[in-house]
Amino acid sequence: MPSLPTLQFHNTLTRSKGPFVPIDPARVRMYVCGPTVYDWAHIGNARPVVVFDVLFRLLRRVHGADAVTYVRNITDIDDKIIQRHLDTGEPIEDITRRTAEAYFEDMRALGALEPSVQPRTTQHIGEMIEVIERLLAAGNAYVAEGHVLFHVPSDADYGKLSGRSRDEQVAGARVDVAPYKKDPADFVLWKPSTPVQPGWNSPWGRGRPGWHIECSAMSAAHLGRHFDIHGGGHDLIFPHHENEIAQSECAHGGTMAHTWMHNGFLVVNGEKMSKSLGNFLTVRDLLARWPGEAIRLLLLKTHYRAPLDFTEAGLRQARENLDRWQRAVQRGAAGADRAAFEAEAAAAPLGDLLSLLGDDLNTPGAVARLSLLATSVFDELARGEAGRGRAFAAELLASGRFLGLLASTPEEWFAGGAPSADGPSAEEIEALIAARLAARKARDFAEADRIRDALKARGVLLEDGAGGTTWRRT
Ligand code: AMP
Ligand code: ZN
């Protein structure tokens, strides 16, 4: 049994990378903030999903699939949802059910495993009221005009996650501070609802929870008051995660989550992709034009903490990477019995890959490793070393699958790969390469050259090598 890697993650709370030591290795627990469901997910929303899916896979491999619980919530009550209902007349339950289902479908298409639990805000109102009551009893919250507010100066630790000073916290608060706030940095735990707004009965009248309290209540309900990892996008550090910590630690004591991990933004021309900026591309639209794996791979080619510049050229390149890996698997496995090759892949060593991922999720390193394995397949085949080529192909397939890639067989991939927005599909290119080979065998070099030139005119370069003809887009 090969030894498993020591995991190290960057922790926003300590501002450093350190070894990951679970509170209870038999029960590793992670929580990631999920979507507010009123619209299609954009590709920026998919980044934390794919990043933390790789983390989930890694933890399952290292600690055992049954030992890991992954909770990702669905926020199904929010002012943006209410606004959407007022704008369109569609009932709130229909908006949230329809959008949550689309979200599940989209994330499945990106190869993300389903989290262990996907709790919804509206199913946990009782637990939220309980946490708020504890905060009131402890003197960390107060009631004002039907609202319940968290009193920030009551918490000496406030600001420890974001590192924001008191001045920065206040500057970050809304410009016009509500008159009922004792301190400008105080934030809402509960707010009153008008008769047309959805609401629940509470000790403070009919109302609804603030956003931050949801995650404190849902994480405690499903993972307990203290757990291992809390994740989300960089934009959530302040105020959302800072406020979650304040609520949970003042209500329950102890450290809420030991490791806090945040993905960087997905940007377009240097600007964060977001609905409010209007510069977003939905996962749905992209899936109509690109294979889910190409989108997933593009998201993994940049380290999760760095900004990721999203371009169609990047997607095209990701698809070409997958084409090349699939071709390597296909050629490496050629002539081998499929079941025997599958067994070889199932037994393939993944130590190097796991070490890379265990080092703060070095997915760019993992992607480079897959490319190197593909090169090794072609090199060994060119040398006539079929057995060694097959072993590299088996490791490539196993590594790809670990990352949630190479799920289809090469035949399925080349037959079904969705064509890109421009240029010939991989399937068409492969067919033309076969036709060109046939023409050369028939010594019809004029036809062979015509095919090569026609492909070149459409942006595809053919390269003849010892292992056969390969292609790349220009
Ligand atoms: P939202 O529905 O806006 O609350 O976002 C859901 C998740 O997507 C959160 O973890 C956000 O931090 C994350 N997110 C939103 N926009 C981006 C972006 N442009 N890049 C990376 N992550 C994002
Ligand atoms: Zn949250």
Of ligand 1's listed atoms, the one at least distance from the Cα of 267 is: 19
Q: What per-residue confidence (pLDDT) applies to 473?
A: 67
End-to-end CA distance of the chain: 44
Contact indicator for 255, 249 with CB cutoff of 8 Å = yes
Geometric angle at alpha carbon 15, from 24 and 251, rounded to 5°: 55
Of ligand 1's listed atoms, the one at least distance from the Cα of 41 is: 2
Q: What per-residue confidence (pLDDT) applies to 76?
A: 97
User: What's the whole-number average pLDDT of the chain?
Assistant: 93
Of ligand 1's listed atoms, the one at least distance from the Cα of 36 is: 2
pLDDT band for position 420 (cuts 50, 70, 90): very low
Contact indicator for 141, 189 with CB cutoff of 8 Å = yes
Whose Cα sits closest to atom 15 in ligand 1? 45
pTM of the model: 0.88
Residue 461 has pLDDT above 90, yes or no: no
Identify the nearest ligand to the CA of 237 by its number: 1
pLDDT in tens, 271-290: 999 988 889 999 999 999 99
Q: Which of 45, 212, 279 to mutate to test the pocket of ligand 1 (most atoms within 8 A of CB)?
A: 45
List, in sequence order, every residue forming a beta bridge with 272; answer none if it has no partner. Answer: 267
How much distance in Å is there from the Cα of 365 to the middle of ligand 1? 24
Whose Cα sits closest to atom 14 in ligand 1? 45
Of ligand 1's listed atoms, the one at least distance from the Cα of 272 is: 19
Residue 175 has pLDDT above 70, yes or no: no
How much distance in Å is there from the Cα of 173 to the middle of ligand 2? 18
If we measure between CA atoms, which residue out of 91, 70, 83 comes closest to residue 36?
Answer: 83
Q: What per-residue confidence (pLDDT) applies to 419?
A: 45
3-state SS track over 127-149: HHHHHHHHHHHCCCEEEECCEEE
3-state SS track over 287-341: HHHCCHHHHHHHHHCCCCCCCEECCHHHHHHHHHHHHHHHHHHHHHHCCCCHHHH
How much distance in Å is there from the Cα of 263 to the middle of ligand 2? 14
pLDDT in tens, 126-138: 999 999 999 999 9
pLDDT band for position 345 (cuts 50, 70, 90): very high
Whose Cα sits closest to atom 4 in ligand 1? 35
Pocket of ligand 1 (CB under 6 A): 33, 35-36, 44-45, 47-48, 232-233, 235-236, 263, 265-266, 272-274
Contact indicator for 138, 93 with CB cutoff of 8 Å = no
Percent of the chain with pLDDT over 70: 95
Summarize the confidence of residues 403-432 as an average pLDDT: 79
If we measure between CA atoms, which residue out of 339, 310, 355, 331 comes closest to residue 2?
Answer: 355
Whose Cα sits closest to atom 1 in ligand 1? 35
3-state SS track over 171-195: HHCCCCCCCCCCCCCCEEEEEECCC
Contact indicator for 274, 265 with CB cutoff of 8 Å = no
The owner of tokens 């016009």 is 176
Q: Which of 47, 51, 244, 295 to mutate to test the pocket of ligand 1 (most atoms within 8 A of CB)?
A: 47
Summarize the confidence of residues 239-259 as an average pLDDT: 98
Q: How far is CA 84 from CA 102, 197, 208, 249, 280, in A?
A: 17, 12, 17, 34, 18
264 C-beta neighbours (distance < 10 Å), count: 18
Give the Cα separation of 20 and 59 in Å (integer).
10
pLDDT band for position 415 (cuts 50, 70, 90): confident
Residue 97 has pLDDT above 70, yes or no: yes
